Amino acid sequence: MSFPTHRPRRARQSAPVRRLMRETHLVPSQLVLPMFVREGIAEPQPISAMPGVVQHSMDSLRRAVTEAAEAGLSGVMLFGVPSVRDATGSAADDPDGILNVATTAVAEEVGDALVVQTDLCLDEFTDHGHCGVLTPSGAVDNDATLERYASMALAQARAGSQLLGLSGMMDGQTGVVREALDEAGFTDTLIMAYSAKYAGAFYGPFREAVDSQLTGDRRAYQMDAANAREGVREAILDVEEGADAVMVKPGLPYLDVLAEVRASVDVPVWTYQVSGEYSMVEAAAERGWIDRRATILDSLTAFRRAGADTILTYWATEAAGWLREQL
């Protein structure tokens, strides 16, 4: 009788052995919590398409970032939801605008414990919902938008943001923002470029989260879902322009791109587990179709296995608690 020469099952025989042989490790410090703060509200407002996620008031934001710090997260990424919007998103670089005011508050609350991060994009602040300034014909004007991004970068840095998340997908945005920061003396402010940000349907619940005014789509500036090599090229360009980290977004549908970017650049690579990914898991778990906790941890581990150094996820604080239980 012939028996197997190789027995890989030896490495899976018990929980302690599996921990010993594990190739990929997930810890709370690899997680960042995206957070929405809305102007003019006294209590947090639930987001119906994202059960468990809210638009924060200033008070609830302070409580939530303290909880995030205590959970051992590495940072929080702030998104502002203004009361008034206009064509150029003027509230985005207003020192008294909701995102900048919230940034200062968070920096004062947990700036010594977390990296305070801000989304640098115009879509939340424009009355047309696009990520840039529009031409008379309705197209996004790349170079005019870069001027707005430079102004936003300075406003966010002055407010206390330690890392700017450049998510607008304009050509040259990293170089322009880096130059503006350096000339103003903000040489220590980090840039994380959303290098490979794909257009598609996975952002649907986010539209409610930021009360998006978008008409049409963003396919003229966000990437085609069919293109992987282009994502690598974008990441390399951002590194050349001065990015301290690069992003692949969304997460699970683009694990192949994430792996290729990780192999192609020498800076940290991030990914974003976007609203659609979150909502699908929550909906299936609510119906009893999947094990919620196991599915969340499986997905986060997949990002790490594909090469992500840092993961933005709406489950960050909760998942950090689970990970600490496993220690």
Burial class of residue 270 in the structure, from the number of CB atoms within 10 Å of its CB (0-12 exposed, 13-18 middle, 19+ buried): buried
95: left (phi over 0), alpha (psi -120 to 50) or beta: alpha
Contact 131, 92 (CB under 8 A): no
Q: How many CB atoms lie within 10 A of CB 227?
A: 14
Catalytic residues: 197, 249
DSSP assignment letter at 255:
H
Q: Do the bridges between strand 75-81 and strand 245-249 make them parallel or antiparallel, or are there none, so unpaired?
A: unpaired
Widest Cα–Cα separation across the chain: 80
Residue partners of 193: CB distance under 8 A and separation at least 6 = 166, 173, 174, 235, 238, 241, 243, 245, 246, 247
Tokens of 76: 């929080």
Contact 47, 86 (CB under 8 A): no
Burial class of residue 325 in the structure, from the number of CB atoms within 10 Å of its CB (0-12 exposed, 13-18 middle, 19+ buried): exposed
Question: What does the alpha-carbon distance between residue 74 and residue 302 come to, in Å, rounded to a whole number?
Answer: 19
Q: Which of 186, 250, 251, 196 lies closest to 227, judged by CA?
A: 196
DSSP assignment letter at 266:
S
Question: What does the alpha-carbon distance between residue 276 and residue 273 come to, in Å, rounded to a whole number?
Answer: 8
